[in-house]
């Protein structure tokens, strides 16, 4: 399967949450293609630093706005039609689940509905960034898109899980009701430059702790697993879905499954740190296993991850080393 590039020079694309970790890399990739990109962010978790490299790029515009309130009609960059709308906005880290629960629910529900309405109006392709959290603490391993999940609807993580599940339902409702061209990507654990050091995710936490010579805090026994995907691979998968006619949902990630204990030990070794590994109480509803079944992504999109964990971690450690310096 070879997907030909559908969006490039002359196409206008809206990216919500554009100043965030993954979305800012998506913006870079779209600009490199020749697209005109408008990024919208309210900077609750996003950072203007993530887009500083595009400050003098004439095909790029950054608009400060909250898509939960709708797109501000007075901004000229938002007045023109978009060829594609990529809804990537949402706080997405474990610390955000506790501190920004209502914001997460609003952007997944109201924000999604506002953007779907705009996509219908513009006749745009609508791409939704969903999540492996839709599978909850899975009882099927690895997780195929056909698995409906095992989610606690009232747990502390539920604000993110259910916001994304609602967003998927809304996207499919607009697809069926209006014939809207949509694509849903379920993103698995992703890492790389531009992550927030304090966002509560394992890799930035472990790397910053190792670089500071602090103990690495592993939840529970550290036996729980995640499949870690370097951000460049994820972005390629997202753009393959954007270019395709696939509706999805389609999993995107890697099959590099690793326990949290093993990941912590590897990072200590790679940083040359003297840090020890300590164990702390595990959060409620923390998934035990997480690995995508990539059959659909391979067959429908020709997707294949290319960056090894060793290389991806090396690049990420280098980024945090420079940032902390």
**pLDDT tens figures, 198-246:** 888 999 999 999 999 999 999 999 999 999 999 999 999 999 999 999 9
| Whether pLDDT at 286 is above 90 | no
State how many domains the chain has: 1
Confidence (pLDDT) at 215: 96
User: Is residue 315 included in any domain, yes or no?
Assistant: no
User: Is residue 263 included in any domain, yes or no?
Assistant: no
User: Is residue 86 included in any domain, yes or no?
Assistant: yes
* Domain that includes residue 126, residue range: 12-191+230-254+291-305
User: Is residue 207 included in any domain, yes or no?
Assistant: no
Q: Region 246-271: what's the mean pLDDT?
A: 97
User: Is residue 116 included in any domain, yes or no?
Assistant: yes
**C-alpha to C-alpha distances, 291 to 86, 162, 250, 278, nearest whole angstrom:** 24, 20, 13, 25
User: Is residue 276 included in any domain, yes or no?
Assistant: no
- How far apart (Å, rounded) are the C-alpha atoms in residues 308 and 235? 15
User: Is residue 314 included in any domain, yes or no?
Assistant: no
**pLDDT tens figures, 9-53:** 999 999 999 999 999 999 999 999 999 999 999 999 999 999 999
Q: Region 298-312: what's the mean pLDDT?
A: 97
Q: Taking the model in full, what pTM does it have?
A: 0.97
CATH number of the domain that residue 19 is part of: 3.40.50.720
Confidence of residue 148 (pLDDT cuts 50, 70, 90): very high
- How far apart (Å, rounded) are the C-alpha atoms in residues 31 and 27? 6
**pLDDT tens figures, 87-131:** 999 999 988 999 999 999 999 999 999 999 999 999 999 999 999
Confidence (pLDDT) at 211: 96
Instruction: Say how many Å lie between the first and final Cα of the chain, rounded.
Output: 44
Given a contact cutoff of 8 angstroms between Cβ atoms, the answer to whether 41 and 66 are in contact is: no
User: Is residue 208 included in any domain, yes or no?
Assistant: no
- How far apart (Å, rounded) are the C-alpha atoms in residues 240 and 26? 12
Given a contact cutoff of 8 angstroms between Cβ atoms, the answer to whether 254 and 227 are in contact is: yes
Which residues participate in catalysis according to the annotation? 160
């Amino acid at each position: 399967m070879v997907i030909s590039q559908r969006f490039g020079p002359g196409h206008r694309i809206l990216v919500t949450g554009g100043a965030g970790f993954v979305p800012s890399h998506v913006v870079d990739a779209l600009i490199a293609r020749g697209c005109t990109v408008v990024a919208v962010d309210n900077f609750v978790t996003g950072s203007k630093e993530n887009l500083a490299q595009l400050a003098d790029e004439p095909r790029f515009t950054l608009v400060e706005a909250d898509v939960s309130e709708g797109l501000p009609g007075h901004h000229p960059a938002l007045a023109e039609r978009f060829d594609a709308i990529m809804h990537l906005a949402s706080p997405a880290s474990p610390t955000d689940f506790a501190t920004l629960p209502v914001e997460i629910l609003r952007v997944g529900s109201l924000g999604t509905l506002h953007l779907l309405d705009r996509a219908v109006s513009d006749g745009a392709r609508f791409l939704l960034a969903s999540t492996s959290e839709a599978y909850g603490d899975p009882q099927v391993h690895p997780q195929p898109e056909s698995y409906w999940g095992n989610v606690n609807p009232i747990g502390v993580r539920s604000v993110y899980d259910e916001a994304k599940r609602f967003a998927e339902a809304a996207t499919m409702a607009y697809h069926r009701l209006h014939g809207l061209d949509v694509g849903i990507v379920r993103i698995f654990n992703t890492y790389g430059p531009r992550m927030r050091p304090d966002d509560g995710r394992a890799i930035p936490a472990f790397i910053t702790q190792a670089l500071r010579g602090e103990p690495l805090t592993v939840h529970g026994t550290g036996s729980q697993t995640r499949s870690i995907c370097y951000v460049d691979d994820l972005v390629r998968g997202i753009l393959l879905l954007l270019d395709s006619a696939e509706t999805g949902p389609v999993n995107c990630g890697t099959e590099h499954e690793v326990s949290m204990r093993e990941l912590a030990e590897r990072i200590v070794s790679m940083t040359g740190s003297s840090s020890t590994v300590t164990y702390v109480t595990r959060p409620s509803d923390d998934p035990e296993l997480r690995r995508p079944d990539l059959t659909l992504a391979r067959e429908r999109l020709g997707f294949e991850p290319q960056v090894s964990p060793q290389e991806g971690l090396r690049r990420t450690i280098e980024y945090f080393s420079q940032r902390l310096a």
